[in-house]
Amino acid sequence: MPPDTHRRITLTVNGERVTADVPVRQHLADYLRQSLGLTGTHLGCEHGSCGACTVLVDGQLARGCLMLAVQADGAVVESIEGAAASGRIARLSSAFHRRNALQCGFCTPAMLLTAAELLRVNPNPTRDEVRDWISGNFCRCTGYQAIVDAVMEAAS
């Protein structure tokens, strides 16, 4: 049995089932990064503002810093590593490179996951729809223009 400060959880991460005893106060992003080595999930604000920690939980975009790892018990989680391995963001990734849609790259994993979800639900978005969709993901470097260009290219 885990100590009182921990809970046992079982979840599926990037297609693999994992069981772990996690601290009850640990958020999902720290669990992914520290316990599973999935450091493509970044941490910026840790207050739900910047979007750098975005992952998919049961097919929904979620802030990994706002969700406790124990809340992911039983869930299916996909991080940028899983999305990249599956090939489903390959077209977007190429477009980001071609359009110079990243500079430091800090926002990029979450931006790619967020944009991929947009193209899943809306394969032909307008520029305004792209801007609106990614508005919860902060980028300090690009000014967003190139990111929108890249998403539009991937959609075309």
Tokens matching residue 128: 């305004």
- Of 19, 10, 31, 125, residue with least CA distance to 73: 10
- Judged by CB under 6 A, the stretch of 12-20, 83-91, 97-105, 113-121 that binds ligand FES is 97-105
| Residue 107 contacts ligand FES per CB under 6 A | yes
Q: How far apart are CA 89 and CA 107, in angstroms?
A: 15
Q: How far apart are CA 42 and CA 37, in angstroms?
A: 12
Q: How far apart are CA 117 and CA 133, in angstroms?
A: 9
| Residue 106 contacts ligand FES per CB under 6 A | yes
| Residue 104 contacts ligand FES per CB under 6 A | yes
13, containing H or E segment: strand 6-13
142 CB-near residues (< 8 Å, 6+ apart)? 100, 101, 102, 103
The binding track of 44-83 with respect to ligand FES, each residue x by CB under 6 A or -, is: xxx-xxxxxx---------x-x------------------
- Judged by CB under 6 A, the stretch of 13-21, 74-82, 85-93, 140-148 that binds ligand FES is 140-148
Question: Residue 52 or residue 70: which is nearer to ligand FES going by CB?
Answer: 52
Minimum distance between the CB of residue 97 and ligand FES, rounded to whole angstroms? 12
* Binding test (CB under 6 A) with ligand FES, winner from 90, 120, 140, 143: 140
Question: Residue 27 or residue 75: which is nearer to ligand FES going by CB?
Answer: 27
Alpha helices in 33-103 (DSSP H): 80-86, 90-98
Q: Are 30 and 69 in contact (CB under 8 A)?
A: yes
Minimum distance between the CB of residue 50 and ligand FES, rounded to whole angstroms? 3
Could you list the residues that contact ligand FES (CB under 6 A)? 43-46, 48-53, 63, 65, 102-108, 139-142
